[in-house]
Amino acid sequence: MPELPEVEVTMRGVRPYLEQQRIKSVYFDDYRLREPFDPRLSELEGGFIDAVSRRGKFIVIHSDHGSVIVHLGMTGHFKVQDATAPAVKHDHFALTLESGKMVRLNDSRRFGLVHYVPPGQDPLCDEHLVNLGPEPLDDEFNGAYLLRRLQRIKKGEIKPALMNSRIVVGVGNIYASESLFTAAIHPQSQANALTLTQCTTLCRVIKATLQRSIAEGGTTIRDFAGADGKPGYFVQELQVYGKNGKPCPRCGTKLEKIVQGQRSTFFCPHCQKLYVKPLSAV
């Protein structure tokens, strides 16, 4: 599944082909993705794209004929092609531009989202985006914020909390496991037991991990390919994710795998200490 770095890399990949371009035609088929295609997507025709941005794991294409919010789901990816290139299986949505290029969305498992927002409405206030927490790379996401937010959790473990998009957006399963390992925090620690120092470390580590991954072009897992078709390279850099049974890169202890909230978590039982709120603080 594409995580924030892949979405950022994808957004940066397609942005030069979309921004400052006029939309010549819009294609969408009869299949439904996460929701059916809105027939009003046709109204994008003739629209001028003034910006392409990312919010969490959503890509937003802003035009004067309305905006489009895209989520890549499990297998969605964009391709930039000549407008004459024939469609292939699972090409479900496309914007043809006056430049002669076409930006296509291919999504074999159809968990992605293409959502139309009419002109005059701010897509960032759309129901898909309005409740999202801060961006992990923004200054607003810092130790004091994270501590405050985690202390509001009555009962819950730190890893699912990091993956809660109301707390912070775009920290998916891979980066939650990796960041907790680097910060030496056990994934099953009580979220509200973390100290300010730990929260500050965790924020710093999450930012560094995501930034490094973006710089290296995104993680290659399953179907992800950058918009130019080249896969990312970060996969070799993963320290614990998918490596249960292998030695910890720090201490050599066998890495373990557990399941939290139906998602796999990988960690080192020696390096990552379990934090439980002391009784005196309850």
Q: In this complex, which beta carbon is closest to Zn ion, that of residue 207 or of residue 270?
A: 270
Stretches 64-72, 103-111, 185-193, 268-276: which one binds Zn ion (CB under 5 A)?
A: 268-276
Stretches 89-97, 113-121, 143-151, 243-251: which one binds Zn ion (CB under 5 A)?
A: 243-251
Q: How far is the CB of 185 from Zn ion (least distance, A)?
A: 13
Round to the nearest angstrom and report the end-to-end CA distance of the chain: 38
Q: How far apart are CA 199 and CA 146, in angstroms?
A: 6
Q: Can you give 147-195 as a three-state secondary structure string?
A: HHHHHCCCCCEHHHHHCCCCCCCCCCHHHHHHHHHHCCECCCCEHHHCC
Using CB under 5 A, pick the residue from 40, 140, 253, 261 that binds Zn ion: 253
Q: How far apart are CA 247 and CA 254, in angstroms?
A: 5
Would you state the structure tokens that stand for residue 189, as one six-digit string? 């620690």
Stretches 42-50, 220-228, 245-253, 273-281: which one binds Zn ion (CB under 5 A)?
A: 245-253
Q: How far is the CB of 251 from Zn ion (least distance, A)?
A: 3
Residue 57 annotated among the catalytic residues of the structure: yes
Residues near Zn ion (CB under 5 A), total:
7
Residue 2 annotated among the catalytic residues of the structure: yes
Q: In this complex, which beta carbon is closest to Zn ion, that of residue 194 or of residue 248?
A: 248
Region for 208 from its dihedrals, namely left if φ exceeds 0, alpha if ψ lies in -120 to 50, beta otherwise: alpha
248 touches Zn ion (CB under 5 A)? yes
Using CB under 5 A, pick the residue from 51, 251, 274, 276 that binds Zn ion: 251
268 touches Zn ion (CB under 5 A)? yes
Q: How far is the CB of 182 from Zn ion (least distance, A)?
A: 11
Q: How far is the CB of 136 from Zn ion (least distance, A)?
A: 25
250 touches Zn ion (CB under 5 A)? yes
Q: How far is CA 231 from CA 10, 53, 171, 228, 234, in A?
A: 11, 21, 20, 9, 9
Burial of 216 (0-12, 13-18, 19+ CB in 10 A): middle
CB–CB of 49/23 below 8 Å? yes
| Binding site residues, Zn ion, CB under 5 A | 248, 250-251, 253, 268, 270-271
